[in-house]
Amino acid sequence: MGKLLSVILLMVIVPQVSCYAQSDNYRAQGKYYAAKEQYESANYLAALQNVYEAKQLLGGGTNYHLQYLHILSAYAGKKYIEAQQELAVYFDLVDGKLKPIFFQRSVEALTNDEVTVLTKLIDQIDKAAYREDNKCAKCNGTGELKKACDFESPDANKYRMSCFGNGKYGTVCNVCYGTPYKKSNGCYQCNSTGTVYRTCPKCSGSGRLISKCDACDGKGVKP
């Protein structure tokens, strides 16, 4: 009786197990198409998320199409080290070191154009990954340092005449000469404040001064 029950259970369970696996493969392919759509709409991080989920559904496996999309999405999403790592996985597939898990519904092989795109990217990915890996900490890889503008107008002692990150500096109003209370109806030009604001000449109104990072000599990479 126990044996018969096991046989029945096996008959019931086994087909279901393989059926689930198969549906996971279909779902993985769905995620792949979703990733492709996201990539084409320039939603690279969403594309990556779908790629991760597709791989999970393939039991952690991958195939040429998924790798292609993973590499392009990571690169376009500025995740260069990830792009480099996934490029290595792609070559493991090509070299037979890793067995691809194909989608069950047929997907055409990568086109020559797609392979060309990938080949052209190799060098750029390596360079960008190196930059990401060796990013200068002081300027966060930008090669530039930003600080609040320190411009001070010659009349700074009289009013708030300094930019100090505001992008504007005050000058003494040239209608009331900074003494609007002496005019009967106040001053129209400075709204009776005595001060007129002008765009800061030192930072051109941005309020920030940008200089070359001295830690990396503007290269953005650790010296």
Note the residues at the interface with Zn ion (CB under 5 A): 136, 138-139, 149, 151, 163, 173, 175-176, 180, 187, 189-190, 200, 202-203, 213, 215-216
Extract the tokens encoding 200: 């800061």
Q: CA neighbours within 13 Å on the CB side: how many for 49? A: 6
Given the complex with Zn ion, which of 74 and 176 has the nearer CB atom?
Answer: 176
Given the complex with Zn ion, which of 100 and 205 has the nearer CB atom?
Answer: 205
CB atoms within 10 A of CB 29: 21
C-alpha 43/C-alpha 91 separation (Å) is: 26
Give the shortest CB-197-to-Zn ion separation in angstroms. 12
Given the complex with Zn ion, which of 91 and 181 has the nearer CB atom?
Answer: 181
Give the shortest CB-210-to-Zn ion separation in angstroms. 12
Extract the tokens encoding 161: 């005449």
Give the shortest CB-132-to-Zn ion separation in angstroms. 14
Assess contact for 80 and 132: CB atoms under 8 A: yes
Give the shortest CB-154-to-Zn ion separation in angstroms. 15
Q: CA neighbours within 13 Å on the CB side: how many for 218? A: 3
Given the complex with Zn ion, which of 72 and 216 has the nearer CB atom?
Answer: 216
CA angle, corner 120, sides to 115 and 124, nearest 5? 135
Given the complex with Zn ion, which of 30 and 205 has the nearer CB atom?
Answer: 205
C-alpha 189/C-alpha 197 separation (Å) is: 11
φ, ψ of residue 196 to 5 degrees: the values are -115, 135
Give the shortest CB-67-to-Zn ion separation in angstroms. 33
